Amino acid sequence: MDNETMPIELRLAAIVTLLSACALRGTTANKAAALRIHLDAALHLPECGGHLHDAIAQALAGWETIECHPASVSIDFCPLTVPGQSIH
């Protein structure tokens, strides 16, 4: 699917997936770049208004300050990534 024609539902799903991946396995340069692309594109959708627009703009502003080493890699920390293995 072309990045320019992605509906808001898929765009938000991609944002949530990337945020989850960053939280669980760490941020990489590629994940951060993809997240910034999706957040920026979501801001320009006509369906993105009001509080959603404000929240996405704030998230984008935060992610624009993040710099990752180009060779960064995800980590595989079992207690956080395997269902049933989480420590509470």
- Asked if the structure places residue 62 within a domain, the reply is yes
Do the Cβ atoms of 42 and 56 come closer than 8 Å? Answer: yes
Is-above-0.75 flag for pTM? yes
pLDDT band (50, 70, 90) for residue 81: low
User: Cα 78–84–88 angle (5° rounding)?
Assistant: 85
- Asked if the structure places residue 53 within a domain, the reply is yes
pLDDT digits (tens, 9 = 90+) for 32-62: 999 999 999 999 999 989 999 999 999 999 9
pLDDT digits (tens, 9 = 90+) for 58-80: 999 999 998 887 777 776 655 55
- Asked if the structure places residue 76 within a domain, the reply is no
CA atoms 30, 13, 61, 4: torsion sign: positive
- Asked if the structure places residue 88 within a domain, the reply is no
- Asked if the structure places residue 79 within a domain, the reply is no
Residue 10: domain span: 3-68
User: Cα 30–59–23 angle (5° rounding)?
Assistant: 55
Return d(Cα 46, Cα 72) in angstroms, integer: 35
- Asked if the structure places residue 87 within a domain, the reply is no
- Asked if the structure places residue 83 within a domain, the reply is no
